[in-house]
């Protein structure tokens, strides 16, 4: 028995802010005071509030220390763990109320969240199977294997209304039933952990924080569809996730929870990890399977669908990490429980990775149907620096943007599709008035141009040409006809591409054209970038009346574009200026403007 548990986030975000060094320091400081038998340090998965990392929580008090540094550790150990006095300066300010500590659930960040798939993240030690088991782990698998038929399992998943969290939103139970009804000597269960949307990291966090729930869910799926082998296809760029998943698989095998005759049921299930080599397209299920097979990761036409002819030509069920993460709890708590969350056609919760112009960058899980406003203003803490919200991009490079006047849209699969957006995997990037929407579209398109596999002509060439048109627009060289041509080409690429990557690549362009056409027109007609982002369309100017002639800007200018004598107003030679903004930053008198 320990009198205190210190949970330190070992997710990728906090790890990159040296949380592992904090853990080492904690352990040595604790040992130095002889407290190692009284206090246990646990490295957990992600808590979600990445903006405040590295995060440390001390139980039983539930003290939430944020932005902890290695240097803070001796103080925490000495003051809090030894003397019982909280280090208030490190407490997350939202949790401090007068003299007491509010529970995390009461903070704005967590209050509206409903953590289902993330329930164990930041709670258990992901490298210890016993902790997972202590949190009801593998009970769902036991229930399925010994007390349910495969059909019953599929029906529960169907009744829960769970839809695929990878982007498409296809009903999971229905998908399982397709793979189940195709008989074959071998079938496969595949987990898509090739999370590639810029800014999305929910699958990584689940694998890092709760890897056993994926193993359990895949085994359940194997039982339901009649497969004895599974593959987790995970990005090689996720080393922590890969390591913890491998540890989890090894432990599960040791405990007999993977392998032969699991729970004496006669059911066998084995799991392999395959690493992706960094191609975004391998998140597309047919490309993913082609890659597992050892070939160049490229999509193939459907039909035949994976449920008929999937991995190695055998019936295959393919879901993503977040989808699987729901399964054990659906089995244990029932379809009705799951369906009670969310909206009628989008049940359960959804994890979003909040990023961009928002205070609480991080990972949040909310019931489907939560409005964008709640997510951004309440949970996300709003836009920093008093700026105005402009739009939110969902679904990464496959999605679209939601403008301010649609902020009260309840987020679910169908509502997002209806406004030309897409749930996608759940990346949610917030933009404020300083973002140029043409530039945003260009940013996402640049990503898909780079990640197109090159197999089909519309995606390989079409996205590139769209990109060139956007460049033309942001350089002020386009005409209004070019805008029409861009839209026509975007619709063509959407209609004609081979796989989901190409079919959705034009979405950021189409959505911004729909909601922010006036910004495009400003670039084309007025040759101006209203947000002041597109370099070619703006010029730096020195306001004569405000310039004191201090010469600082002239000295900072890397290309010698500023001339002037001491104490006299300076001038920028726009022909030489590379628009780096160094002068504006350096000016102490706000005499330099861009327009």
Partner 1 sequence: MEMVNIKINGMPLSVPNGITILEAARYAGIEIPTLCYLKDINEIGACRICMVEVKGARSLVTACVYPVNEGMEVFTNTEKVRKSRKMTLELILSTHRKDCLSCIRSGNCELQKLCKEFGVDNEHAFDGEMPEFEFDDSAAHMVRDNSKCILCRRCVAACNQQKVSVIGANARGFDTHISSAFDKDLADVSCISCGQCIVNCPTGAIYEKDDTKAVFEAINDPEKFVIVNTAPSIRVTLGECFGRSIGENVQGKMVAALRRLGFDKVFDTDFAADLTIMEEAYELLDRIKNGGTLPMITSCSPGWIKYCEHYYPDYLNHLSTCKSPQQMFGAITKTWYAQKMGIDPKDIVVVGIMPCTAKKFETKRDHQAASGYPDVDYALTTRELARMIDTAGIYFNHLPDEEFDNPLGEATGAAVIFGTTGGVMEAALRTAVEALAGEELESVDFTEVRGQGIKEATYSVAGLDVKVAVASGAAAAHEIMEKVKNGTADYQFIEIMGCPGGCVNGGGQPIQPAVVHNFVDLKGRRAAALYEADKNLPKRKSHESEAIKRVYAEFLGEPNSHKAHEVLHTSYVKRPKYK
Rounded distance between C-alpha atoms, residue 491 and residue 553, angstroms:
47
**In a 10 Å sphere around its CB, with 0-12 CB exposed, 13-18 middle and 19+ buried, how is residue 344 labelled?**
exposed
Rounded distance between C-alpha atoms, residue 389 and residue 243, angstroms:
39
By the rule CB under 8 A, 455 interacts with partner 1: yes
By the rule CB under 8 A, 392 interacts with partner 1: no
Any idea which residue has 């039909």 for tokens?
Answer: 303
81: nearest Cα among 27, 19, 125, 124: 27
Q: Which stretch binds partner 1 (CB under 8 A): 123-131, 255-263, 409-417, 458-466?
A: 458-466
By the rule CB under 8 A, 468 interacts with partner 1: yes
Nearer Cβ to partner 1 (414/468): 468
Q: How far is the CB of 523 from partner 1 (least distance, A)?
A: 19
Q: How far is the CB of 175 from partner 1 (least distance, A)?
A: 17
Q: How far is the CB of 280 from partner 1 (least distance, A)?
A: 10
Contacts of 397 by beta carbon, 8 Å cutoff, 6+ apart: 197, 198, 444, 445, 447, 448, 451, 504, 505, 507, 508
Q: Which stretch binds partner 1 (CB under 8 A): 54-62, 181-189, 391-399, 460-468?
A: 460-468
Q: How far is the CB of 237 from partner 1 (least distance, A)?
A: 17
By the rule CB under 8 A, 378 interacts with partner 1: no
By the rule CB under 8 A, 84 interacts with partner 1: no
Single out the residue of 167, 230, 462, 506 in contact with partner 1 (rule: CB under 8 A). Answer: 462
Nearer Cβ to partner 1 (47/280): 280
Q: Which of residues 272-291 bind partner 1 (CB under 8 A)?
A: 279, 281
Q: How far is the CB of 514 from partner 1 (least distance, A)?
A: 19
Most distant CA pair in the chain, distance: 89
Give me the 478-497 binding string for partner 1, x by CB under 8 A, dash otherwise. Answer: -----------x--x-xxxx
Q: How far is the CB of 485 from partner 1 (least distance, A)?
A: 9
> What one-character-per-residue DSSP string does 284-338 give?
SHHHHHHHHTTS------SSSPTTTS-GGGS-EEEEEHHHHHHHHHHHHH-HHHH
State the number of binding residues for partner 1 (CB under 8 A). Answer: 32
Nearer Cβ to partner 1 (495/574): 495
Rounded distance between C-alpha atoms, residue 415 and residue 411, angstroms:
6
Nearer Cβ to partner 1 (51/505): 505
H/E element, 242: helix 239-254
357: nearest Cα among 398, 406, 422, 401: 401
Q: How far is the CB of 445 from partner 1 (least distance, A)?
A: 12
Question: E-strand spans in 456-559?
Answer: 540-542
Contact 219, 257 (CB under 8 A): yes
Nearer Cβ to partner 1 (121/282): 282
Q: What is the CA radius of gyration of the chain?
A: 27
Nearer Cβ to partner 1 (495/565): 495
Q: Which of residues 298-327 bind partner 1 (CB under 8 A)?
A: 298, 300-301, 303
Beta bridge partners, 350, equal 366
Q: Which stretch binds partner 1 (CB under 8 A): 250-258, 413-421, 449-457, 518-526?
A: 449-457
170: number of Cβ within 10 Å: 13
Nearer Cβ to partner 1 (178/589): 178
Residues near partner 1 (CB under 8 A) are 279, 281, 296, 298, 300-301, 303, 449-458, 460-465, 468, 489, 492, 494-498, 503
């Amino acid at each position: 028995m320990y009198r205190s548990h210190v949970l330190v986030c070992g997710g990728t975000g906090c790890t990159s802010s040296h949380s592992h060094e904090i853990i080492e320091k904690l352990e040595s400081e604790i040992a130095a005071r002889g407290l190692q038998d009284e206090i246990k340090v646990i490295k957990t998965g992600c808590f979600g509030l990445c903006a405040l990392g590295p995060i440390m929580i001390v139980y039983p008090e539930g003290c939430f220390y944020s932005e902890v540094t290695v240097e803070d550790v001796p103080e925490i150990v000495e003051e809090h763990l030894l003397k019982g006095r909280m280090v208030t300066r490190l407490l997350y300010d939202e949790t401090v109320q007068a003299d007491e500590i509010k529970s995390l659930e009461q903070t704005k960040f967590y209050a509206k969240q409903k953590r289902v798939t993330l329930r164990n993240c930041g709670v258990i030690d992901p490298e210890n199977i016993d902790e997972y088991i202590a949190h009801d782990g593998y009970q769902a698998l036991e229930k399925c294997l010994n007390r349910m038929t495969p059909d019953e399992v599929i029906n529960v998943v169907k009744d829960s209304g769970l839809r695929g969290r990878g982007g498409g939103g296809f009903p999971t139970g229905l998908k399982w039933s397709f793979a189940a009804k195709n008989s074959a000597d071998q079938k496969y269960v595949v987990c898509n952990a090739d999370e590639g949307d810029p800014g999305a990291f929910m699958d990584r966090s689940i694998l890092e924080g709760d890897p056993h729930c994926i193993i359990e869910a895949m085994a359940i799926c194997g039982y339901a569809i009649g497969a004895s082998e599974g593959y987790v296809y995970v990005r090689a760029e996720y080393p922590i996730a890969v390591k913890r998943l491998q540890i989890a698989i090894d432990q599960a095998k040791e405990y007999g929870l993977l392998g032969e005759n699991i729970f004496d049921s006669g059911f066998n299930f084995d799991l392999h990890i395959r690493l992706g080599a960094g191609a975004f397209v391998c998140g597309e299920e047919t490309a993913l399977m082609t890659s597992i097979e050892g070939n160049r990761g490229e999509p193939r036409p459907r039909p035949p669908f994976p449920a008929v002819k999937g991995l190695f030509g055998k019936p295959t069920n393919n879901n993503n990490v977040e989808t699987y993460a729901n399964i054990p709890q659906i089995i244990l708590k029932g379809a009705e429980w799951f369906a009670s969350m969310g909206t009628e056609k989008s049940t359960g919760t959804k994890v979003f990775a909040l990023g961009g112009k928002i205070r609480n960058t991080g990972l949040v899980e909310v019931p489907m149907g939560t409005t964008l406003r709640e997510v951004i203003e309440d949970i996300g803490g709003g836009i920093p620096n008093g700026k105005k919200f402009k739009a939110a991009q969902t679904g990464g490079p496959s999605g679209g943007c939601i403008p301010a006047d649609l902020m009260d849209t309840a987020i679910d699969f169908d509502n997002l599709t209806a406004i030309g957006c897409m749930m996608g995997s759940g990346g949610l990037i917030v933009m404020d008035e300083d973002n140029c929407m043409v530039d945003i579209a260009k940013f996402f398109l640049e990503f898909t141009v780079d990640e197109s596999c090159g197999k089909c002509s519309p995606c390989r060439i079409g996205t590139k040409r769209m990109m060139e048109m956007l460049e033309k627009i942001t350089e002020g060289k386009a005409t209004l006809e070019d805008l029409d041509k861009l839209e026509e080409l975007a619709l063509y690429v959407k209609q004609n591409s081979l796989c989901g990557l190409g079919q959705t690549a034009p979405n950021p362009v189409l959505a911004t054209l729909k909601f922010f056409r006036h910004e495009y027109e400003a670039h084309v007609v007025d040759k101006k970038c209203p947000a002041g982002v597109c370099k070619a369309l703006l010029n730096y100017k020195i306001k004569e009346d405000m310039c004191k002639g201090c010469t600082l800007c002239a000295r900072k200018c890397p290309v010698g574009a500023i001339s002037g004598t001491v104490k006299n107003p300076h001038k920028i030679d726009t022909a030489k200026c590379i628009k780096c903004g160094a002068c504006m930053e350096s000016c102490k008198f706000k005499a330099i403007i861009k327009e």
